[in-house]
Every structure is written in C-alpha cells, then in structure tokens.
Amino acid sequence: MEKATFAAGCFWGVEDSFRKVEGVISTRAGYAGGHTENPTYKEVSTGKTGHAESVEIVFDPSLVSYNELLNIFWNIHDPTQINRQGPDIGSQYRSIIFYHNEEQRLDAIESKRKLESSGKYSKEIVTEILSARKFYPAEDYHQQYFEKRRL
C-alpha cells in the first residue's frame, strides 16, 4: 500500500471523489501543510494555522497508479484559483500535492508541467508541490461527510 495526499478545496468533496476509485483502500479528511499542531476545524477556518483542508489516501498501486490519482486531482478542482475553490475562500482551500517520496515528487512535477503545456487553462496553475509532513485527521463529523448524508 502507498499514501497520497492532496488539497483541492473543501475536503468533503475531495474525499468523496477519491473514495469512489477502485484501488483506493481508505481516505481521511484532515489538515496538512501548516505550522499549528493538532489544529481544529475552527482554527484552520481562520486561515492562521497555515494548514490546508487535505485528504490522505491509502491506495493499492497494483490497482490504481499514483499518476491516475494525479489525473483525478487535476480534474476535480480548478488549479488556477489562488486560495479558493468556488465559493470557499481562504488559504485553507489552496491547491497542493503533498508527495511522500521522490517518485511522487517527480510524477507531480511532470503532471503539472503537462497540464500547463496542454493549453487547458488560460491562467497560471498555482498548485503547490510540497513534501508531505504531519497530517492531522479532521474531526469525526468531517470523515466521509457526503456518505453520512446520503443515508
């Protein structure tokens, strides 16, 4: 099993998109990329923790590749929006690929380069590519949020 971590706006929709992918074993909504230890949703919502709403994914690379996950990431949000996605505004909604190893880092850089050269977007892609550090799971009520509401 391998891990992938992405930030692409509100974590509810991001987590929901990846949970549907064959080969994804588990997902966790949470916070990453900031400086506050053990942040709460309320703290992250202020934009002062440095964290982005993120999703940590455990996947089976024999069933789904990291590059396939990158393609999903690029297609579920607008990577040209700075510190926002749709109506959600703030640094906690920024676009980030958190890589877990050198291969992921290189794949992320290459996938961003390909997207930039594709002409799909007229604006600059602002997605950050950062080393995965500490991931803090969000509160229980954020986990599988949409699935809980579909019942």
DSSP state of 11: H
Q: Which of 7, 10, 24, 57 is catalytic?
A: 10
Structure-derived torsion over alpha carbons of residues 69, 70, 74, 80, reported in degrees to the nearest 10:
150
**Pair type for strands 88-89 and 95-99:** unpaired
Return the structure tokens found at 88.
């959600």
Contacts of 11 (CB under 8 A, 6+ apart): 29, 30, 53, 54, 55, 138, 142
Torsion over CA: 84, 128, 10, 63 (sign): positive
Query: What's at 151, amino acid-wise?
Result: L
Active-site residue, 42 included = no
d(C-alpha 126, C-alpha 147), whole Å: 30
Return the structure tokens found at 151.
């019942």
| Active site (catalytic) residues | 10
